[in-house]
Structure 1
């Protein structure tokens, strides 16, 4: 079983979109996915525009935010953050997680140009959420391929 944990700041935009995308695209029951935020308040819904952008792709997002915790860190086989700052925060809070923590782009990118942070759409209009979702979708497709290759 591979347990993927996506991490962003408040767990209401990027990481819930990444979680919903991976759940939608995965083909294996041997893959579980959750998300959390380094500064999240437990129990918040995904933002309206995050939900709307996903709905436009036929993906539902039934999400309640979670704060990053020792329990989630221990559950995760791999922790994928939206930015390098999130990665540093995870490692600072949970030093033992350093060996399994990467930015999403770092984990799947094929060249340095692709290894950029995922922009934070929070507070923006629907168009920025659509762009963030498009960026995530490219990376999540690569993630699915990489995880499937590792299982073969």
Structure 2
């Protein structure tokens, strides 16, 4: 993942897990500057962050009041871009639908964990809190991995 310029977190409609993951990542320290954002697989019109996801983010000290969902597009792919999905189904859909798809991984896969990030949509607020906790744990591992790779490149 050397020479990374952009990390894009992708979820179904860019109103919950993707934006949460992007903002958690932005709250961490990376040795090298990287653009971090989120996209959706199906975005028919711009939507704000899911209210329960927003409440969980605020409770954890992260404000996301200006978020509007954005559709994933062909221009989002590049050699220096890392596309991270929340589940295997999204990864497969991206690879199938985008001719230029490259560097597409499931978050758990990138950090060497089993499973996927559960979708809390439609569940109680506690499900969103659990999703935040899972994302925070996985993204902390991702940041450590990226920072370690960066330091190894400097040697």
Above 0.5 in TM-score?
A: yes
CA offsets 1:106-139 (integer angstroms, 9 cap, x no match): 0012xxxx32111111111110000000000000
SS in 1 for 2:145: helix
Q: Does 1:124 align with 2:123?
A: yes
TM-score (structure 2 length as normaliser): 0.88
Structure 2 unpaired stretches of 5+: none
Counterpart for residue 84 of structure 1? 88
Measure how far apart 1:93 and its partner are.
1.3
- Judged with a 3 Å threshold, the aligned counterparts in structure 2 of structure 1 residues 123 and 24 are, in CA distance, closer, same or farther, namely same
Aligned equivalent of 1:150? 149
Counterparts of 1:1-152 in structure 2, within 5 Å, are 1-28=4-31, 30-61=33-64, 62-74=66-78, 77-98=81-102, 100-109=103-112, 114-152=113-151
Q: How many residues align?
A: 147
**Structure of greater Rg:** 2
Greater per-residue helix proportion:
1
**Structure 1 residue ranges, 4+ long, deviating more than 2 angstroms after superposition:** 26-29, 73-76
CA distance in 2, matches of 1:150, 1:41: 37
Q: Is the 8 A contact 2:31 2:150 kept in 1?
A: no
Q: Deviations over 1:43-64 (max 9, x none)?
A: 1101001111011110111311
What value does the CA root-mean-square deviation take over the aligned residues?
1.6
Q: Deviations over 1:69-117 (max 9, x none)?
A: 012224861111000000001101124324x0110000012xxxx3211
